Chains A and B, each alone.
Chain A
Amino acid sequence: MSVCIQRLSKSWGDFAIRNIDLEVENGEYFVLLGPTGAGKTLLLETIAGFHKPDTGEIWINGKNVTSLPPEKRSIGLVPQQYMIFPHMTVKQNVEFGLKIRKVPKTEREKAVNEVLELVGLTHRRNRFPSTLSGGEQQKTALARALVIKPKILLLDEPLSALDVNTQKRLREELKAIHEELGITTIHVTHNHFEAHMLADKVAIMKNGAIVQKGLPEEVFRRPKNDFVAEFVGFENLFEGKILATRGGLATIDLGGVTVEAVTSKKGKCMVGVRPDDIILSNSLFQSSMRNVLKGRVTGLIDMGAIVNVVVKVKNVSFTALITKRSLADMGLAEGKEVYLAFKASAVHVL
């Protein structure tokens, strides 16, 4: 089931979306990525039918649904904070859509059992929501949306309210469920990791408009502008000046530090290097990498399993990622000298 959104605009309270054009193909996992207040939820709720658009059209599977009420759109919605009906058990929550559709009891039971099995909640079926963990509530919301076999699944920040470990587990489960059911999914998030892990296609939203859309590797590797770059996790963003270009290889000055990049641009530019593209080492080593810089560790930021290492090279600070294990192996500490290495192709010129 495909979704096609054409020139969609809607103002609602403090939020607005402007001229949204989107195409989500059958079976695609589409991630809408953007900061808080970008209008992601408004767009999702307009697709769901809770807001009448000011202009534009929404087509689901070749049918114009712009003026259909939400209950006629056959969408599965997992809202922020899940919105589990607090007066119903897990089973009753999941059963709700089928009861409304007057599905006979035996069929209902079967469908509920299947979907609870799918999300791994069978053992919690008779629990009330207030006694469930965040992850279990999320799964209940997902099961409740899936049981009606919706044409489109809409997920609004489905993982944001969960702790890091649960997030990781459920991200994998979302992926597995999507692969099993092949349901067309639109997933809204502000977390670019989720987009990385799950998206077939991604769109970046800012101030109610779509800034960039496409395949994740396109958007993440070649961000269109510094907003997208910063948002998709380019922590090393510098203003630079291209000094010379020879054979497609440019030498760029970042203010005292020069790096080489693959570009044909000229003059002033923005330069981005992803932290995960930078290799750290204690000594100079032989490699094909065009950029090797010597610097001093000025900061270590603990992110759990990984550590952000801030390395100052002359007046330019780079951030690199390293596992906790490697940090211990290398004996990195603030003030220590260290080498940074990255490929010319890892330097993105915007």
Chain B
Amino acid sequence: MSLIKNRSPFVALSTVLGVFMLIFLLLPIFNTVSTSANRLGEAVVDVDTGSAILTSFYAAFLATLITFIFGTPLAYILARYDFKGKTLIDAAIDLPILIPHNAAGISLLMLLGPKSLLGSAFSGIGLSFVDTLFGVVAAMTFVSSPFMIRSAEEAFKSVNPGLEKVARSLGASSFGAFANVTFPLAFRGILTGCLLTWARSVSEFGAVIVLAFYPKTAAVHLYEVFINWGLNAATPITALLIITAVGIFALVKLISAKPLKPVYSRQES
């Protein structure tokens, strides 16, 4: 234990406590995956599980797309401008992360349910949110968009506004400067945010089940299997979901890691 040797008691104690924390975080995940690894095939070939995972992936993709379209401009404004009430808006963005997710689902149901004003207006144009894919997407967007907005905001902040000024001086409009300079430079952070929002959407359960039990997402399907068939039936699906999540997480880390900077462009001189 070279980490503990030759260090102050405080550092040694911190290390030991930290290791306990890590074990608690990783052991359940590791345990589930390792004990059900030989039964993973059951989950992979199961049609219900497969379609539930596809539903999750697709709905999460739509939620991410919506967040990207509406969240990117918001993130840019928050990163670049100071205005009255900005701290309030800043705090509001984190709200969906803080409130219990089934409470979020109930709030959405009150707003978008068939008996509500907005809900009946939407159903007038054939858009219903209860037990539909739209409901799943709405629930996912509500709880997961903060990840993308925050990530994009940080990415925009890291782009020096001086670069935009130069672009403007060279003839670019404010949108031109954004499109040619700021967005490409912030792209990695935005993409990371999108992946986080997507992954968080896939794992969302509380808000989704309140608003839309059907079409069943992976998390809802897992819950149903667990309630009806017990722990033994649920573990292979659990393992599959965990492996998928870890895969996504690895991808996020890979993208957000700084690449080696090229010296020359590939373009011919």
Q: Which residues of A contact B (CB under 8 A)?
A: 45, 48-50, 69-71, 73, 75-77, 79-81, 83, 85-87, 89, 92, 96-97, 100-101, 125-128, 130-131, 141, 144-145, 148, 154
- Cβ-defined contact, A48 with B165, below 8 A: yes
Contact with A along B133-173 (1 / 0, CB 8 A): 00000000000000000000000000010110111111111
Given contacts A96-B180, A125-B269, A126-B269, contact A77 B264 (CB under 8 A): no
The 7 A-B residue pairs with the shortest CB-CB distance in the complex, in nearest-first order: A97-B170, A77-B169, A70-B168, A83-B162, A100-B171, A89-B265, A83-B166
- CB contacts (< 8 Å) of B160 on chain A: these are 83
Q: Which residues of B contact A131 (CB under 8 A)?
A: 261, 263
Look across to chain B and name the residue whose beta carbon is closest to the beta carbon of A144. B170
Which one, A76, A126, A148, contacts B264 given CB within 8 A? Answer: A126
User: Which B250-269 residues have C-beta < 8 A from chain A?
Assistant: 261-265, 267, 269
Q: Are B173 and A71 in contact (CB under 8 A)?
A: yes
Select which of B166, B181, B262 is within 8 A of A128 by beta carbon: B262
Chain B residue at minimal CB-CB distance from A80: B162
Q: How far is the CB of A106 from chain B (nearest CB, A)?
A: 16
Q: How many residues of B contact A (CB 8 A)?
A: 25
Establish whether residues A77 and B173, one from each chain, have CB atoms under 8 Å apart when the complex forms: no
CB pair A100 B166 closer than 8 Å: no
Residues on A with C-beta less than 8 A from B230 are none
Question: Which of the residues B170, B184, B262 comes within 8 Å of A100, measured between beta carbons?
Answer: B170
B32-73 vs A, CB cutoff 8 Å, 1 = contact: the mask equals 000000000000000000000000000000000000000000
The verdict on B185 contacting chain A, using a C-beta distance below 8 Å, is yes
Contact surface of B with A, Cβ cutoff 8 Å: 160, 162-163, 165-174, 176, 180-181, 184-185, 261-265, 267, 269
Q: Are A128 and B265 in contact (CB under 8 A)?
A: yes
What's the least CB distance linking A232 to chain B, in Å? 29
* Pairwise interchain contact B169-A76, C-beta atoms closer than 8 A: yes
Could you name 10 residue pairs across A and B whose Cβ atoms are closer than 8 Å?
A50-B165, A70-B168, A77-B170, A81-B162, A83-B160, A83-B166, A96-B172, A100-B171, A126-B264, A128-B261
Residues in B whose Cβ lies below 8 Å from that of A50: 165, 168
A148 touching B170 by the CB < 8 A rule? Answer: yes
A141 to B165, CA, bound (A): 13
Task: Collect the chain B residues with CB atoms within 8 Å of residue A49's CB.
Answer: 168-169
Question: In whole angstroms, how far apart are the Cα atoms of A160 and B100 in the complex?
Answer: 54
Question: Shortest beta-carbon distance, A254 to chain B, in Å?
Answer: 47
A67 to chain B, nearest CB (A): 15
A-side contacts of B262, CB under 8 Å: 128
The chain A residue with its CB closest to the CB of B176 is A100
Distance in angstroms from B134 CB to nearest chain A CB is 38
Contact A79 B165 (CB under 8 A): yes
Measured in the bound complex, the distance between the Cα atoms of B269 and A314 in whole Å is 67
Residues from chain B with Cβ under 8 Å of A83 in the complex: 160, 162-163, 165-166
Cα A97 to Cα B171 in complex, Å, equals: 6
Give chain B residues whose Cβ lies under 8 Å from the Cβ of A92: 265
Report A149 CB to chain B, min CB distance, Å. Answer: 11
Docked pose: A145 CA to B165 CA in angstroms: 12
Residues of A within 8 Å of B162, CB to CB, are 79-81, 83
Nearest to B173 among chain A residues (CB) is A71
**Smallest Cβ-Cβ distance to A125: which chain B residue:** B269
Query: What separation, in Å, do the CA atoms of A154 and B170 have in the docked complex?
Result: 12
Which B residues are in CB contact (< 8 Å) with A145? 169-170
Residue in chain A with minimal CB distance to B261: A130
Is the Cβ of B269 less than 8 Å from the Cβ of A70?
no
In the complex with contacts A71-B173, A128-B263, A85-B163 CB distance below 8 A: yes
Tell me the minimal C-beta distance from B269 to chain A in angstroms: 5
Please report the C-alpha to C-alpha distance between residue A260 and residue B55 in the assembled complex, in whole angstroms. 94
Given contacts A79-B162, A148-B171, 13 further A-B contacts (CB under 8 A): A77-B165, A77-B166, A83-B166, A87-B185, A89-B264, A89-B265, A96-B170, A97-B170, A100-B170, A126-B265, A126-B269, A131-B263, A154-B169
Contacts of B165 in A (CB 8 A): 45, 48, 50, 70, 77, 79, 83
Find chain B residues with CB under 8 A from A69 CB.
168, 173-174
> Which one of A81, A86, A101, A130 has the greatest number of beta carbons of chain B within 10 Å?
A86
Please tell me if the beta carbons of B267 and A89 are within 8 angstroms of each other in the complex: yes
- A49-B173 Cα distance, complex, nearest whole Å: 12
**Inter-chain contacts of A73 with B (CB < 8 A):** 169
Count chain B CB atoms within 10 A of each CB in A70, A81, A154 and give the residue with the most.
A70
Given A100-B176, A126-B267, A128-B263, are A79 and B166 neighbors across the interface (CB < 8 Å)? yes
Q: What residues of B have a CB within 8 angstroms of the CB of A101 in the complex?
A: 171
CB-based contact A127/B264 at 8 Å: yes
Most buried by A among B169, B180, B184: B169
B185 partner residues in chain A, CB cutoff 8 A: 86-87
**Which residues of chain A are within 8 angstroms of B163 by Cβ–Cβ distance?**
83, 85
Q: What CA separation (Å) do A144 and B176 show in the bound complex?
A: 17
A71, B269: Cβ atoms closer than 8 Å: no
- The residues of A that contact B176 with a CB separation of less than 8 Å are 71, 100
> Smallest CB–CB gap between A107 and chain B, Å?
15
In the assembled complex, the Cα of A83 lies from the Cα of B170 at a distance in Å of 12
Instruction: Output the residue of B163, B171, B264, B269 with the most chain A CB within 10 A.
Output: B171
B169 touches which one: A48, A85, A86, A126 (CB < 8 A)?
A48
Q: How far is the CB of A44 from chain B (nearest CB, A)?
A: 11
